[in-house]
């Protein structure tokens, strides 16, 4: 079982002969970007899934998937997990396993930071009458590569 926090920095795909078929269904109110972690642990984008949209994938049991909001990189959950490792369809399921994408429950502070980032330009953060620690938090935009412990991809 994979760790449920991306920050463990040890996620990557492993060779597998067990193929599975997945329908990722975006149930959030924003476009979702699908990321597969390759054999080196680098994220590979499989594009955006519109709200109520579907991404049908043939993947493997040992291939981790992550999802982020297309607009701001905020974390999304796949079947209530930050990291989705595909499961094989059971005899009671259809050929494609259904995976629901949704927004996690954010703390009040995280919600406020996202709202301020949407309303205020970054160069104006210093003009806000808020504690310096919150200004620092505002500047720390969601960054998948940083979460995975990977530098800038070339």
**CA 41 → CA 50, 60, 91, 94, 127, distances in Å?**
25, 15, 32, 30, 39
Q: What is the C-alpha separation between 98 and 15, in angstroms, rounded?
A: 23
Instruction: Output 68 or 94, whichever has higher pLDDT.
Output: 68
Q: What is the mean pLDDT of residues 38-51?
A: 96
**pTM reported for the whole predicted model:** 0.81
> Does 151 score more than 80 pLDDT?
no
Question: Which of the pair, 9 or 114, is modelled with greater confidence?
Answer: 114
- Top pLDDT among 87 and 40 is at 40
d(CA 20, CA 8): 25
Handedness of CA 133, 142, 1, 78 (dihedral sign): positive
Question: 63, 66, 68, 52: which is closest to 88 by C-alpha?
Answer: 63
- Average pLDDT over the chain, rounded to an integer: 89
Mean pLDDT throughout 86-100? Answer: 80
Read off the pLDDT of each residue in 28-54 and give the average, rounded to a whole number. 96
């Amino acid at each position: 079982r994979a760790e449920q926090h991306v920050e463990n920095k040890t996620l990557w795909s492993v060779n597998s002969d067990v193929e599975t078929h997945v329908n990722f269904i975006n149930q959030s109110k924003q476009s979702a970007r699908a990321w597969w972690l390759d054999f080196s642990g680098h994220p590979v984008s499989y594009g955006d899934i519109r709200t109520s949209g579907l991404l049908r994938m043939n993947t493997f049991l040992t291939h981790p998937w992550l999802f982020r909001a297309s607009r701001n990189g905020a974390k999304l959950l796949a079947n209530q997990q930050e990291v989705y490792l595909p499961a094989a369809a059971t005899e009671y399921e259809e050929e494609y396993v259904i995976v629901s994408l949704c927004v996690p429950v954010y703390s009040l502070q995280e919600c406020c930071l996202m709202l301020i980032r949407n309303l205020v330009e970054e160069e104006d953060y210093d003009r806000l009458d808020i504690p310096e620690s919150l200004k620092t938090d505002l500047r720390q935009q969601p960054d998948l590569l940083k979460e995975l412990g990977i530098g800038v991809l070339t």
